[in-house]
Amino acid sequence: MLFKVEMVVRIPPEMPADTAEQIKREEKQYAQRLQEQGVWRHLWRVAGQYANVSIFDVESNEALHNLLTQLPLYPYMEVTVTPLCRHPSSIHPDDR
Amino acid sequence: MLFKVEMVVRIPPEMPADTAEQIKREEKQYAQRLQEQGVWRHLWRVAGQYANVSIFDVESNEALHNLLTQLPLYPYMEVTVTPLCRHPSSIHPDDR
Amino acid sequence: MLFKVEMVVRIPPEMPADTAEQIKREEKQYAQRLQEQGVWRHLWRVAGQYANVSIFDVESNEALHNLLTQLPLYPYMEVTVTPLCRHPSSIHPDDR
Amino acid sequence: MLFKVEMVVRIPPEMPADTAEQIKREEKQYAQRLQEQGVWRHLWRVAGQYANVSIFDVESNEALHNLLTQLPLYPYMEVTVTPLCRHPSSIHPDDR
Amino acid sequence: MLFKVEMVVRIPPEMPADTAEQIKREEKQYAQRLQEQGVWRHLWRVAGQYANVSIFDVESNEALHNLLTQLPLYPYMEVTVTPLCRHPSSIHPDDR
Amino acid sequence: MLFKVEMVVRIPPEMPADTAEQIKREEKQYAQRLQEQGVWRHLWRVAGQYANVSIFDVESNEALHNLLTQLPLYPYMEVTVTPLCRHPSSIHPDDR
Amino acid sequence: MLFKVEMVVRIPPEMPADTAEQIKREEKQYAQRLQEQGVWRHLWRVAGQYANVSIFDVESNEALHNLLTQLPLYPYMEVTVTPLCRHPSSIHPDDR
Amino acid sequence: MLFKVEMVVRIPPEMPADTAEQIKREEKQYAQRLQEQGVWRHLWRVAGQYANVSIFDVESNEALHNLLTQLPLYPYMEVTVTPLCRHPSSIHPDDR
Amino acid sequence: MLFKVEMVVRIPPEMPADTAEQIKREEKQYAQRLQEQGVWRHLWRVAGQYANVSIFDVESNEALHNLLTQLPLYPYMEVTVTPLCRHPSSIHPDDR
Amino acid sequence: MLFKVEMVVRIPPEMPADTAEQIKREEKQYAQRLQEQGVWRHLWRVAGQYANVSIFDVESNEALHNLLTQLPLYPYMEVTVTPLCRHPSSIHPDDR
């Protein structure tokens, strides 16, 4: 089941640089593990913004919630979730 | 080059049913041709809405503009375009 | 899987009164059938508005989309969908 | 008398972790006591957000105000209240 | 139990003048009857707008909903309802 | 001359508790004095919010401005002013 | 007593041209009469818009309401009223 | 050439009182000098707000920018600029 | 003196196709004449939208107003005007 | 390929003055280098605001993203990107 998730990141300017770097490293590892498992299906950067557009493939709303709230950057994110479904004109077998 | 395009469709209620059906048939053919050509990379329905989330892969802003304004439903759409680029944490070779 | 769905109805003033009544009768029958089947779990009127707050229990985003777009009043509705999940402090066995 | 209450929680990042944990423990106890008393009729988590959708059953606006402002997390919440009433198409005896 | 109700009226310009006058006459009669009964406690015009600010005193959300939806101008109104309660600093015995 | 005034209070979380209590005590005294003088005609709490809806009866915009900016909580308030006048359907002699 | 009034005019495209011209002629006469009487103190066009920014000098909210609702273009206007008062740094004797 | 300028002032609560007083004194002197020179044509307080509505008469956008950014309170202001021009119905010789 | 002007065009769907074509032809001629005269300095299409971003170079707000309101498509446009001035970091001699 | 980029700068008031000056000096050098290279095609100040309107000419969304995120003031900016393309009525050879 697919969801579009948009994440805007706002790291507070007073956070020490190495703390920020450490969280971003953990975020990257976590994001890549979820991509390898197939649940984080797509991940794009929004041009000019510290933000991304993502597609998640999960079994339930609850599974999505658990994945998102464990993101190392989650406390600094504004997250918007949009439930998607197959479009009748789509020819892509995976876009469901 | 990738763009997220969100389209909300508002067909005026006074349009005759068979005119609407004819436009939707043409829209479907046009959308499927662009998907086969690889420029309309993804196409999802927003659950509960007459709206979609799409990913286009085009050579330029102008190419995108030309594709979108030729959509048979374009006169009845509200279109939002967001330029995307590769995310440094992405592992998907095509998400660029 | 639970979703909050908010529906605002705007029937065009030029619709003949008996057409409107007929659509509302069909809407009521459809809504009650879905409630009996357990998929439309809750249905409340917003005080002072021609609008409702509903809780749907469905298997997927796609199932929700199909149920909503078949509502007889759907062409005259503005629909907002919010995916829900179990709250860790909830004691209600059904609120999941 | 029913009200939909939506609560978004924003704990300031500078709050010490154990202070935050203590307030959340008290919040959970308070929320569960109100659920047992029947006044907090439903409590759902919004997927991907530190936010909830709730249904309260109280005798008056004033009773609702007193319950909400005693929430341990109240100083860190943005609260939206929507008065509800029975929907003429509802078949659920409790949704009033 | 008190509610602030704000009503903005938008009569469609194509409505015949005498139809509009007839609805406004019925609206005035209805509004004055509710004021005499004490349920429409206050009614003010917003300066420069075809809109009002009102205070209703009713037994329940449902009673409020029934009163408002029977307003002759209701189909042409945008209505906003805000539940109120006694303010701890108020000295007015009726403002509860 | 009547004005609706809506005040939302946001006391900064870092303000010491007894400072906040002292300001609120002064606010209550000031509010009650203005009510006794008849210029603060109505004062209601918005259910679920640290906010109020008020009706002021003053001689001029300037008199209103002076009263509001002397509120002890004024530096922590977001204030919205709406000029009111007598509604042609009102039967309340004081609602002017 | 001074008020800033902003008016945005939206004449429906289906109104016959000479009807529109007639209303605009009456509007101009009415506006100039109020300026001569001193109650419409200033009147400026917003560059690029069918809109104006005005300053009215009236005795009460009610006087302002009566003047505005008699504007020949009033049924086609969106009107915003902001109560003003003397600024402590102003040196203009009339800006009160 | 005329511009409407609206300024909302937000002095941070942690600024020492005498620093704030000093800046406000300088602001008043600067504002009065510009009024005497005729470039700050009107200056009104918005009732109930720490905000003003002003009319500037300058030779160019650049002249306006330079005047505004030298305001002692500029770093604490939210500024909105609206270009104005003569209204065809205006009878005031100076409102151009 | 420079202004950014953004224009969104909304031609009503009921306008006959040849009327629309005629207006667009006149619009194009008018736009090209102003470009040749140097007052319409830049004109870009917003990708995916029936909208443009333009830079005008005019002597006054009034000159800009007169140019814009004579656009053949003006009655069907939503226009936003932003006054610009030279940026201290600009190296382009014409960007003033 | 052209993009309109709007940047609003918000330097936190607690930043030491010489740190701010140092960042602004680096910003100016970086901006002028990009202008000399032809990628930052236009740069204007918004009158009355610490904000600019810019036109970038880049090869891809990714190139734009890299240029913008290396701006020394980027951590203090709110950035909005709008993809542009040639307007069919444009006569300027460079506006593509």
Does the distance separating the beta carbons of G48 and I5 come in below 8 Å? yes
Average pLDDT over residues F58-65: 98
Residue A13: per-residue pLDDT: 80
User: H86 contacts in I (CB within 8 Å)?
Assistant: 62
| pLDDT less than 50: residues of chain A | none
pLDDT band per the 50, 70, 90 thresholds, residue H14 = confident
User: Which residue does chain I place closest to B63, by CA atoms?
Assistant: I47
H33-67 residue pLDDT tens? 999 999 999 999 999 999 999 999 999 999 999 99
Whether residue I66 is predicted with pLDDT greater than 90 in this model: the reply is yes
Whether residue G96 is predicted with pLDDT greater than 80 in this model: the reply is no
Residue D14: per-residue pLDDT: 84
Question: How close I11 gets to chain B, by Cα (Å)?
Answer: 9
Residue G65: per-residue pLDDT: 98
J35-59 residue pLDDT tens? 999 999 999 999 999 999 999 999 9
Does the distance separating the beta carbons of E48 and G5 come in below 8 Å? yes
Residue G75: per-residue pLDDT: 93
Average pLDDT over residues D36-58: 97
Whether residue G10 is predicted with pLDDT greater than 80 in this model: the reply is yes
Question: How close E88 gets to chain F, by Cα (Å)?
Answer: 8
User: Which residue does chain I place closest to J36, by CA atoms?
Assistant: I91
Question: How close F13 gets to chain G, by Cα (Å)?
Answer: 32
- Counts for chain G of helices (H) and strands (E), in that order: 2, 4
pLDDT band per the 50, 70, 90 thresholds, residue J22 = very high
| Binding partners of D (≥3 Cβ pairs within 8 A) | A, C, E, F
Does the distance separating the beta carbons of J5 and A49 come in below 8 Å? no
Whether residue E73 is predicted with pLDDT greater than 90 in this model: the reply is yes
Let me know if residue F90 belongs to a domain. no
pLDDT band per the 50, 70, 90 thresholds, residue F28 = very high
Residue E29: per-residue pLDDT: 97
E8-50 residue pLDDT tens? 999 988 899 999 999 999 999 999 999 999 999 999 999 999 9
With an 8 Å CB cutoff and a minimum of 3 pairs, decide whether chains G and E touch. yes
Does the distance separating the beta carbons of B85 and J62 come in below 8 Å? yes
DSSP symbols for C15-29:
S-HHHHHHHHHHHHH
For residue J26, the domain's CATH number is 3.30.70.1060
pTM for the complete prediction?
Answer: 0.95
Interface test with C, best of B11, B14, B49 (most C CBs within 10 A): B49
User: A5 contacts in D (CB within 8 Å)?
Assistant: 48
- Average pLDDT of chain D to the nearest whole number: 96
Let me know if residue I43 belongs to a domain. yes
Does the distance separating the beta carbons of H36 and G91 come in below 8 Å? yes
Q: Report d(CA A43, CA A56) in Å as an integer.
A: 9
User: H3 contacts in I (CB within 8 Å)?
Assistant: 61, 83
User: Which residues have a Cβ under 8 Å from the Cβ of I46 and sit 6 or more positions away?
Assistant: I52, I53, J82, J83, J84
What are the residues of chain F with a beta carbon less than 8 Å away from any beta carbon of chain E? 2, 4, 27-28, 31-32, 35-36, 42-48, 52-53, 55, 82-92, 95
User: Which residue does chain J place closest to I84, by CA atoms?
Assistant: J46
Question: How close G87 gets to chain H, by Cα (Å)?
Answer: 5
I20-60 residue pLDDT tens? 999 999 999 999 999 999 999 999 999 999 999 999 999 99
- Average pLDDT of chain B to the nearest whole number: 96
- G65 vs D14 pLDDT, higher one: G65
User: A47 contacts in J (CB within 8 Å)?
Assistant: 61-62, 64-65, 68, 81
Does the distance separating the beta carbons of J81 and B61 come in below 8 Å? no
User: Which residue does chain H place closest to J8, by CA atoms?
Assistant: H78
Let me know if residue B95 belongs to a domain. no
- Average pLDDT of chain E to the nearest whole number: 96
User: C80 contacts in B (CB within 8 Å)?
Assistant: 48
CB pairs under 8 A between A and B: 91
Handedness of CA B31, B37, B40, B45 (dihedral sign): positive
Let me know if residue C95 belongs to a domain. no
Does the distance separating the beta carbons of F65 and H45 come in below 8 Å? yes
G77-94 residue pLDDT tens? 999 999 999 999 999 888
Does the distance separating the beta carbons of I62 and G47 come in below 8 Å? yes
Does the distance separating the beta carbons of G48 and I64 come in below 8 Å? yes
CA A61 centroid distance within chain:
14
Question: How close B11 gets to chain C, by Cα (Å)?
Answer: 9
In chain E, what percentage of residues exceed pLDDT 70? 100
Residue H78: per-residue pLDDT: 97
Whether residue D32 is predicted with pLDDT greater than 90 in this model: the reply is yes
User: Which residue does chain E place closest to G80, by CA atoms?
Assistant: E48
- H14 vs C22 pLDDT, higher one: C22
List the single residue in C13, C47, C50 with the smallest CB-CB distance to E64: C47
3-state secondary structure of J75: helix
Q: Report d(CA I78, CA G72) in Å as an integer.
A: 23
With an 8 Å CB cutoff and a minimum of 3 pairs, decide whether chains H and G touch. yes
Let me know if residue G92 belongs to a domain. no
Does the distance separating the beta carbons of D92 and C27 come in below 8 Å? no
Does the distance separating the beta carbons of F68 and H48 come in below 8 Å? yes
Does the distance separating the beta carbons of I44 and J2 come in below 8 Å? yes
Helix (H) or strand (E) holding F18: helix F17-36
Let me know if residue F29 belongs to a domain. yes
Residue E94: per-residue pLDDT: 82
Let me know if residue B71 belongs to a domain. yes
Main-chain phi, psi angles of I94, to 5 degrees = -85, -15
Does the distance separating the beta carbons of F5 and H48 come in below 8 Å? yes
Number of domains in chain H: 1
| Token reading at G82 | 């902001």
Average pLDDT over residues B50-76: 97
Closest Cα partner for E72 from E10, E13, E40, E29?
E29
Which whole-number Å values give the CA distances from G96 to F29, G38, G93, H25, in the listed order?
Answer: 31, 14, 7, 21
Whether residue F94 is predicted with pLDDT greater than 90 in this model: the reply is no
User: Which residues have a Cβ under 8 Å from the Cβ of G41 and sit 6 or more positions away?
Assistant: G2, G35, G54, G55, G56, G57, G94, H92
Structural domain that includes position C80? 2-84
Question: How close H81 gets to chain G, by Cα (Å)?
Answer: 11
In chain B, what percentage of residues exceed pLDDT 90? 92
| pLDDT less than 50: residues of chain C | none
J60-86 residue pLDDT tens? 999 999 999 999 999 999 999 999 999
Buried b / exposed e across D37-61, counting CB within 10 Å, b at 16+? eeebbbbbbbbbbbbbbbbbbbebb
Does the distance separating the beta carbons of G65 and F96 come in below 8 Å? no
Which whole-number Å values give the CA distances from B51 to A39, B44, C52, C63, J8, in the listed order?
Answer: 24, 9, 21, 16, 31
